[in-house]
Amino acid sequence: MKLDQYRLTEEPAYHASGNEVAFYEAAYEARLPVMLKGPTGCGKTRFVEHMAWKLGKPLITVSCHEDMTASDLVGRFLLGPEGTHWQDGPLTLAVRYGAICYLDEIVEARQDTTVVIHSLTDDRRILPLEKKGELVHAHPDFQLVISYNPGYQSVLKDLKESTKQRFCAMDFTYPAAGIETAIVASESGVAPDVAGRLVRIAEKSRHLRGQGLEEGASTRMLIHAGRLMRSGMSLTDACRLALILPITDDPDMRDALEAAVDACA
């Protein structure tokens, strides 16, 4: 099978914070495209993985970047031993055979690249392969999901309104303290009380957003810190390595974050 390698064989752990699972299931039932908005490392990708597993559908993930071309998404002609042949890109594979295609951090891609999704996000559900002269009608199981971080919006990096209005949207943020503690403990293997201290440190860092920090410590960073502690590192050293140094180079901000760590140590 073309999509066997994209099927998840184990359930990705996910702790729901609200009605997001039911909302996504309704959107998939109607085959509506979905846009996930939220800060880096808050669980958007894990949520999509969990839903693909729950629905029993293959998941093709594309990490978008500024050098990504339309051909990277839809495919291109390649020269092989037997001559020239066409190779489907990840989006075309999903459209042709019925997978969920997840375009992660879509605003990182050039707007002239992302325009290729427009005909897939309305009633047409088609993908024109202009170089091949083929019109691919979406498989009944196909769904498109995109994500981005509104906190990094700018004039140069934002979705066009003509793109946004084609999607259902779901807001994501960092989980409530109790849920985030359970996630950090489960994913990193540290005790719940240790996970709770890491969450309190993260909350302090998030309060500094807009006051010298673009983003506070993410749930992903807390899991990294927990894994370092599980290997024997102290809370202070683990937080410096996994939380403080990655998010700021400002000496005063680092001092403020270290004080928050000391307060929770």
DSSP 91-132: HHHHHHHT-EEEEETGGGS-HHHHGGGGGGSSTT-EEEETTT
Give the C-alpha separation, 140 to 178, whole Å. 39
Cβ-count burial of 95 within 10 angstroms (0-12 exposed, 13-18 middle, 19+ buried)? buried
Count of beta carbons in the 10 Å neighbourhood of residue 200: 15
- Angle, CA 30 vertex, CA 141 and CA 96 arms, to 5°: 25
Q: Kindly state the tokens that stand for 9.
A: 């064989």
- The residues facing 85 across adjacent strands are 78
Residue pair 23/157 in contact (Cβ under 8 Å)? The answer is no
DSSP type of residue 20: H
Q: Kindly state the tokens that stand for 12.
A: 């990705």
Give the C-alpha separation, 246 to 250, whole Å. 11
Prediction pTM value:
0.91
How confident is the prediction along the chain (265 residues), in pLDDT tens digits per residue? 689 999 999 999 999 989 999 999 999 999 999 999 999 899 999 999 999 999 999 999 999 998 999 999 999 999 888 889 999 999 999 999 999 999 999 988 887 788 899 999 999 999 999 999 999 999 999 999 999 988 665 545 678 888 899 999 999 999 999 999 999 999 999 999 999 999 999 999 999 887 888 889 999 999 999 999 999 999 999 999 999 999 999 999 999 999 999 988 7
| CATH 3.30.413.10 given to domain 4-171 | no
DSSP type of residue 160: -
Nearest to 60 by CA among 93, 12, 33: 93
Give the pLDDT of residue 157: 67
| Residue type at 82 in one-letter notation | E
Give the C-alpha separation, 239 to 200, whole Å. 12
Give the pLDDT of residue 155: 46
Domain boundaries, the chain: 4-171, 177-264
Residue pair 107/158 in contact (Cβ under 8 Å)? The answer is yes
Task: List C-alpha distances in Å: 48 to 33, 52, 145, 172, 229.
Answer: 13, 6, 8, 12, 28
